[in-house]
Amino acid sequence: MNYPNGKRGSSMNLAPKGKKKPDFSNRGMTLEEDINVTNEYYLQAGIAVVHKKPTPVQIVNVDYPKRSAAVIKEAYFKQASTTDFNGVYRGKYIDFEAKETKNKTSFPLSNVHQHQIDHMKEVHKHGGISFLIIKFTPLDEVFLLPSPLLFQYWDDQMNGGRKSIPYTYVEKEGMRIPLHYQARVHYITAIDKLYF
C-alpha cells in the first residue's frame, strides 16, 4: 500500500521463526511531537506561548533541479543548540528540554549535554523557570523535573557520582504530568503546582 506521503506501508505479518520480529516501538507520536501539539493547544486557548526552538543550520550546498524546488544537499549545525522549548507563561519565562528513555528504572544523564545544563543554569539564575520533561517510554509515564534537582545529579556525576537519575527519585521529587486529549502532555498543571 502506498500512503499519500509517497511511502510504502509495511506488512503487519510476523516474521518467520529465527528472524527478528518487527519493531513497533515508534508507532506512536514522540514526546516532542506531543509537546508541540500541547503548545499549539495552549496558544489557541490563550494559556501560554511556548515554541520549539529551531536549530541553527548553515547551508553549504543547494541543488536547484527546478526553479521552484531547491534541494539542500549539504548543511551543518552552526552551534550546539540549547534546550528544546521556550516561551512565556503567567508572566514568567519558561525554558525546558524534553527527553525520552527506554529505561524503566533510571534516566541516563548521557541524554543531556553540558551546554544544555549551562543554559538551564543561566535561565534559573536569572529567575526563569527551567526544567526537564522526562518520558519513561516503557511505563508510558511523563514527569517534570525542576532544573535544580537535575543540577544536583549532573554535578554529582562530574565528581564521580552515579550517571543516571533513579526512576524512584524522579517519581518522588518530580511532578507527574497528566496526559490529555487536547493538551497531550499537560505540563502547565505541573508548573502551577511547583511554581505558582
* pLDDT for 120 beyond 90: yes
CB atoms within 10 A of CB 111: 16
Residue 173 dihedral angles phi and psi, to the nearest 5°:
-95, -25
Question: CATH number of the domain at 31-54+80-195, please?
Answer: 3.40.1350.10
Max mean pLDDT among 6-15, 21-30, 86-95 falls in 86-95
Furthest-apart CA atoms within the chain: distance in Å? 59
Q: What is the pLDDT of residue 80?
A: 66
Are 18 and 26 in contact, with CB atoms under 8 Å apart?
no
Provide the pairing of β-strand 129-136 with 92-101: parallel
Instruction: Look at residue 8 in the predicted model and tell me its pLDDT.
Output: 45
Q: Find cell 550546498 and name the residue.
A: 61
With beta carbons less than 8 A apart as the criterion, state whether 168 and 174 touch: no
Q: What pLDDT was estimated at residue 29?
A: 57
How many whole angstroms separate alpha carbon 120 and alpha carbon 95? 7
Residue 26 has pLDDT above 70, yes or no: no
Q: Residue 79 — pLDDT band, cuts 50, 70, 90?
A: low
Q: Which of 47-51, 68-72, 157-161 has the highest mean pLDDT?
A: 47-51
The pLDDT of residue 18 is above 60: no
Q: 118: left (phi > 0), else alpha (psi -120 to 50), else beta?
A: alpha
Query: Looking at the predicted structure, is the pLDDT value of residue 22 above 70?
Result: no
> What are the phi and psi torsion angles at 16 (to 5°)?
-60, 160
Does 150 have pLDDT greater than 60? Answer: yes
What confidence tier does 60 reach under pLDDT thresholds 50, 70, 90? confident
Q: Is 114 annotated as a binding residue?
A: no
Query: What integer pLDDT is reported at residue 73 of this predicted model?
Result: 76
Q: Return the amino acid letter for 162.
A: R
Answer whether residue 97 shows pLDDT above 50: yes
SS3 call for 55: coil
SS3 78: coil
Residue by residue, DSSP assigns 6-30 as SPBPPP-PPPPTTSPPP--TTSS--
Among 193, 156, 167, which Cα is nearest to 101's?
A: 167
Mean pLDDT of the chain: 85
**Is a pLDDT exceeding 60 seen at residue 11?**
no
Say whether 82 counts as a known binding-site residue: yes
